[in-house]
A and B are shown apart, each in its own frame.
Chain A
Amino acid sequence: MWSTAREIAAGDTVIIWLTRDVVQHLVVTPGKDFNSKFGNYRHSDFIGLPFGSKVGSRSGKGFIHVLRPTPELWTMALPHRTQILYIADISFIISYLDIRRGSRVIEAGTGSGSFSHSVARSIGSSGRLWSYEFHEARAKKAREEFAQHGMSDIVTLTHQNVCKDGFNLTDAADSVFLDLPAPWDAVEHAKQALRKDRTTRICCFSPCMEQVLRTVSALNDAGFSDITMYETLLRPHDVTQVPVLQPISEIEDKLKKAEEIREIKRLRQIAAGQRSHENPHGEKRKRGVDINEQEAPAVTEAEDSGSGKRLKTDDEMEDATLSQDGDVSRSLDAAPTHIAHAGTSSPAPPTKISVSKAITEVRGHTSYLTFATLLPPMPQAPPEDAPSLGSETV
């Protein structure tokens, strides 16, 4: 398939990784440029670099990563001609269909070739993939792509409607994958194409339950057994770091302090009211402070620094409360460290933790994967009085 050399050479297909969401591909062609909002590059700059290199743009602004293609990266970068299959479905189908080195596989339709590349990788140079596409332009494009990617030796692409005309194969394939609007029309053809000297498998990929039911019926009529159906998805997680969660005791203390301050404020207001009523000439200020000191000694200390010798206005009281809050949260930040030092001699515990959750919008459905098995025919003499109740669990 793609280059396995360490360094990039002219003519290689490479994956240009711009961001997680912008992944492109190009064939390294000396003389050509690659321009993007992440800078301008000459293809010839890539030649000789090892795959996986980070390349800075000629202007020094921006960079890209130049990667070796894999079927998974190709799936991210390929030109979409149709709805494509993604890794969760592709990998599951490859496992179920037992696709591995040397396997002979049929796929219809070719579509954008996302599945084809994965199959080609798994079967290797001794395998064989027959791919069918009924849309002429798409077939042509896919054929060019396969040739470009060095897959022509193992992939045979045919422009044909398999529902009408079948696969032109008999007893040849180990497995069949059908991604068609009406897979039930191709089931008999698939049976003919599958080899009968060993266990073979089929997968039909359909987004709708109604399609599944018709497919199941057709598979059953054609003599497939072990009919089953799966749905598989991939749930990407967002990982973030958040501060270590505060214990509730901290907020309890904070609230209690706020409570005390509110009470002091209330008493002062009462005192101030009394003063203005009884003694408007200011000699009693000191007494007011005394009262405070007697009734709330713990708090005055904290307030002394800013309070001076006069009574605070409401606004100033607000400030005091805020700064108190600030102190609390500052001490909160430091709190875990203190505890750690007191408790053990181990290094301070992290002030942040990594958390993850599924991203807000995920793919909820791709398609139903209907699988069935075709067993080699039974030996000639059928067993006598075969029991009507088989053992297979469905």
Chain B
Amino acid sequence: MSASTPFPPTPQFDTREQTVQSGNTILIRLPNGDTKAVKIDKDSTVSLGRLGGFHANELLNEPFGRTYDIVDKKLTLVPPRTLAEVGRFFPEDTDATNELINDGEFVQPLTLEEIQALKQSGAHASEIIKMQIEQHANYSLKTEYSKEKYKKRKEAKYSKTFTTIEPTLFNVCDYWFKKDQARIRDIRVDALSQILNLANIRPGGRYIAVDDASGVLVSGILERMGGLGRLITICNIDSPPPYPVMVNMNFKSETVTPVLSSLNWATAQRDHTPLVPPVDVPSDQIKSERQKSRLNKRKAATDLLNGTREDLFAGEFEALIVASDYEPFSILERLVPYLAGSASIVVQSPYVQVLSDLHTKLRALPGYLCPSVTEVWLRRYQVLPGRTHPTMNTSGSGGFILHAIKVYVSRLCGSTRVDLGVRYNDENANAITSHRRPKASASNSSNGVSTVVAADVAMADADDD
């Protein structure tokens, strides 16, 4: 079989445009390595602080990932930097050492004023740096590595280049994590990736999410659903939740509108009837066009709310994904009844204690199969010829994840009774549980034995599973 078989060139669905569009909020990488979000509006000027400004139209319809130099308020395209420019041709061994280099020596005759003057004259960053190097008294004593570091430092200071960053889920999550990791509840990109996989997010799936993490989960779920399926989020406010991370994703409306609806904790309650203003006003009482359009809007909102509630209560969702400030077990109690059998339950927390407590509660309930708590771990490396090593600074924690699978318990062999999802902790489960091989009473946490040794816990795990 050959892979060269042609396949129908179906139009590829994209959750966002592949080029920069007016109205986008795009990420750009600055010379010092920082990432910044800027709004691109047609016919406006984009200002980048020290780097200066440029006309937004120059970026429109450009692919992401390109590097530009700002010269006289205009953009010049710069080729992507290869490792060669970062010093590919370093000698394997260098004789230079810092033996003769002392701190505090006067090495740079170029004064601050002279550099300022150079900058004002419009000299390019590379010229200024070249001049500084030429005048530097000890530059030739430096090792190649040290020279490279010196150039990079100066570059961060004078260069006026920037690179646009494609708003992939990875890049957006990375940007938010570096910008304000508390606002996304420490959900580092490795954690987000695991959550999305554990929750089995796919195009066409049906999911419930509780996202108190600025929308980083919702962004990830929507990105992976690709405009197909259903996502209901439950929030703690009366109005639609803002999910600011979604702004950086630059989703098309086709990615979001057909898929996402939100309820709050009150409207998500089955036995609660939301108080909504009346929509069926007799036509003789409608006095103006304005009132009519207001009533139409109100009716649309009410219909949307009722439709979303019906969707939720219909149940059979494929996963529940939670990253919330609230007590997680109370969330699960409310939402797990709407999950299908075999659905994934994924709960994230910056704190392992929260998940440990939840784990203990779930372990006692037969409706949760194999709850497990994991911690994510990630390390990035600098890869340069002769200088490959883990980065010196790294993030300390990317959060913790609890995963469990919802199972139906009240089923004996041969039974034809179809169980309802809400009966997830049915007492009948014991009928089967009692057939288990006997286990040491010490492993049962509820019978007052004070010490639980690790071996017992492992046993209990195996049994519970």
Chain A residues near B (Cβ < 8 Å):
6, 17-21, 41, 45, 48-58, 60-63, 65, 67-68, 70-72, 87-88, 90-92, 94-96, 98, 100-102, 104, 118, 121-122, 124-126, 128, 130, 132, 156-160, 167-169, 198-199, 209, 212-213, 216-217, 220, 223, 225-243, 333, 351-352, 354-356, 358, 368, 370, 373, 375-376, 378-379, 382-383, 385-394
> Which residue from chain B places its CB closest to the CB of A329 in the assembled complex?
B450
A160 CA / B3 CA spacing, docked (Å): 9
Chain A residues with Cβ below 8 Å from B412 are 56
A45 CA / B415 CA spacing, docked (Å): 9
Cross-chain pairs A/B with CB under 8 angstroms, 11 sampled: A54-B429, A56-B431, A57-B413, A92-B193, A156-B1, A169-B4, A231-B381, A234-B376, A235-B374, A376-B63, A393-B31
Q: Is B196 an interface residue (CB 8 A)?
A: yes
Chain B residues with Cβ below 8 Å from A19 are 461-462, 465
* Distance from A325 Cβ to chain B, minimum over Cβ atoms (Å): 15
CB < 8 Å: which of B7, B197, B375 contacts A237?
B375
Q: Are B377 and A233 in contact (CB under 8 A)?
A: yes
CB < 8 Å: which of A125, A239, A351 contacts B373?
A239
CB < 8 Å: which of A53, A159, A393 contacts B33?
A393
Q: Are B189 and A95 in contact (CB under 8 A)?
A: yes
Q: Known contacts A91-B197, A168-B4, A392-B81; is A100 also within 8 Å of B408 by CB?
A: no
Q: Are B341 and A354 in contact (CB under 8 A)?
A: no
Chain A residues with Cβ below 8 Å from B3 are 130, 132, 156, 158, 160, 167-169
Q: Known contacts A92-B190, A168-B3, A234-B194; is A199 also within 8 Å of B65 by CB?
A: yes
CB < 8 Å: which of A67, A87, A209, A216 contacts B83?
A216
> Which residue from chain B places its CB closest to the CB of A15 in the assembled complex?
B342
Q: Main SS of the interface on chain A?
A: mixed
Known: A19-B462, A388-B85. 20 other contacts (CB 8 A): A20-B462, A53-B407, A53-B419, A65-B369, A65-B407, A90-B197, A95-B193, A101-B15, A102-B226, A124-B204, A124-B228, A132-B3, A227-B383, A236-B373, A237-B400, A242-B451, A356-B352, A387-B69, A389-B155, A391-B161
Chain A residues with Cβ below 8 Å from B408 are 50, 52-54
> Which residue from chain B places its CB closest to the CB of A363 in the assembled complex?
B377
* Distance from B14 Cβ to chain A, minimum over Cβ atoms (Å): 7
* Distance from A67 Cβ to chain B, minimum over Cβ atoms (Å): 5
Q: Is B182 an interface residue (CB 8 A)?
A: no
Q: Are B190 and A101 in contact (CB under 8 A)?
A: no
Q: Are B388 and A70 in contact (CB under 8 A)?
A: no
Q: Are B202 and A98 in contact (CB under 8 A)?
A: no
Q: Are A387 and B7 in contact (CB under 8 A)?
A: no
Please give the number of chain B residues whose Cβ is less than 8 angstroms from any Cβ of chain A in the complex. 130
Q: Known contacts A91-B196, A94-B193, A238-B454; is A199 also within 8 Å of B64 by CB?
A: yes
Chain B residues with Cβ below 8 Å from A389 are 85, 125-126, 129, 151, 155, 159
CB < 8 Å: which of A49, A95, A235 contacts B170?
A95
Q: Is B2 an interface residue (CB 8 A)?
A: yes
CB < 8 Å: which of A235, A237, A354, A358 contacts B357?
A354
Per-position binary interface string of chain B over residues 59-91, scored 1 when its CB falls under 8 Å from any chain A CB and 0 otherwise: 000011111010000001111111111101000
Chain B residues with Cβ below 8 Å from A53 are 341, 407-408, 411, 419
A159 CA / B5 CA spacing, docked (Å): 14
Q: Are B384 and A72 in contact (CB under 8 A)?
A: no
A90 CA / B355 CA spacing, docked (Å): 24
Q: Known contacts A67-B405, A124-B203, A239-B373; is A91 also within 8 Å of B194 by CB?
A: yes
Chain A residues with Cβ below 8 Å from B189 are 92, 95
CB < 8 Å: which of A6, A18, A230 contacts B340?
A6
CB < 8 Å: which of B173, B344, B376, B416 contacts A88?
B376
Q: Known contacts A92-B193, A370-B383, A387-B125; is A242 also within 8 Å of B452 by CB?
A: yes
